[in-house]
Amino acid sequence: MTATRITVRGETPYDVVVGTDVLTELPGLLDAKVRTVAVIHPAGLPEIARPVRETLEGAGFEVVALPVPDGEEAKSVHVAAELWSAFGRYGITRSDAVVGVGGGATTDLAGFAAATWLRGVQVVQVPTTLLAMVDAAVGGKTGINTPEGKNLVGSFYPPKGVLCDLATLTSVPREDYVAGLAEIIKGGFIADPTILMLIEDDPAAARAPEGEHTRELVERKIRVKADVVGADLRESGLREILNYGHTLAHAIERVEDYRIRHGEAVAIGLVYAAELSRLDGRIGRDVVDRTRSILESVGLPTSYRADAWPRLREHMRVDKKARGAVLRFVVLDGIGRPARLENPSEELLEAAYREVAR
Residue 246 annotated as part of some ligand binding site: yes
What's the pLDDT tens digit per position in 286-333? 999 999 999 999 999 999 999 999 999 999 987 655 556 689 999 999
Active site (annotated) includes residue 262: yes
Catalytic-role residue among 220, 246, 292, 320: 246
Contact of 18 with 6, CB cutoff 8 Å: yes
Helix (H) or strand (E) holding 265: helix 262-279
pLDDT at 70: 93
Active site (annotated) includes residue 183: yes
Residue 221 annotated as part of some ligand binding site: no
* CA separation, residue 247 to residues 9, 138, 329 (Å): 27, 20, 7
pLDDT at 324: 60
pTM (2 d.p.): 0.93
Beta strands 161-165 and 14-19 are parallel
What's the pLDDT tens digit per position in 167-193? 999 999 999 999 999 999 999 999 999
Give all strands (DSSP E) within 194-283, no chain letters: none
pLDDT at 105: 94
pLDDT at 298: 98
Residue 211 annotated as part of some ligand binding site: no
pLDDT at 340: 94
Contact of 233 with 10, CB cutoff 8 Å: yes
Give all strands (DSSP E) within the chain, no chain letters: 4-8, 14-19, 36-42, 62-68, 97-102, 122-127, 141-146, 149-156, 161-165, 328-332, 338-342
Catalytic-role residue among 207, 221, 225, 321: 225
Contact of 190 with 241, CB cutoff 8 Å: yes
Give all strands (DSSP E) within 20-96, no chain letters: 36-42, 62-68
Q: In the chain, what are the domains? A: 4-171 (3.40.50.1970), 174-200+233-356 (1.20.1090.10)
Residue 200 annotated as part of some ligand binding site: no
Residue 139 annotated as part of some ligand binding site: no
Alpha-carbon distance 52 to 40, whole Å?
A: 10
Residue 74 annotated as part of some ligand binding site: yes
Gyration radius from the chain CA atoms:
20
pLDDT at 1: 64
Of 74, 150, 144, the closest CA to residue 116 belongs to: 144
Contact of 147 with 121, CB cutoff 8 Å: no
Alpha-carbon distance 197 to 338, whole Å?
A: 18
Active site (annotated) includes residue 141: yes
Active site (annotated) includes residue 145: no
pLDDT at 139: 87
Active site (annotated) includes residue 239: yes
pLDDT at 211: 93
The list of the chain residues with pLDDT below 70 reads 1, 232-233, 236, 319-325
Catalytic-role residue among 250, 254, 292, 315: 250
Active site (annotated) includes residue 290: no
pLDDT at 239: 81
Beta strands 36-42 and 62-68 are parallel
Residue 129 annotated as part of some ligand binding site: yes
Active site (annotated) includes residue 221: no
Contact of 318 with 148, CB cutoff 8 Å: yes
Residue 62 annotated as part of some ligand binding site: no
pLDDT at 323: 56
Catalytic-role residue among 239, 261, 278, 315: 239
Active site (annotated) includes residue 282: no
Contact of 164 with 177, CB cutoff 8 Å: no
Alpha-carbon distance 214 to 237, whole Å?
A: 30
Active site (annotated) includes residue 78: no
Of 85, 90, 160, 93, the closest CA to residue 122 belongs to: 160
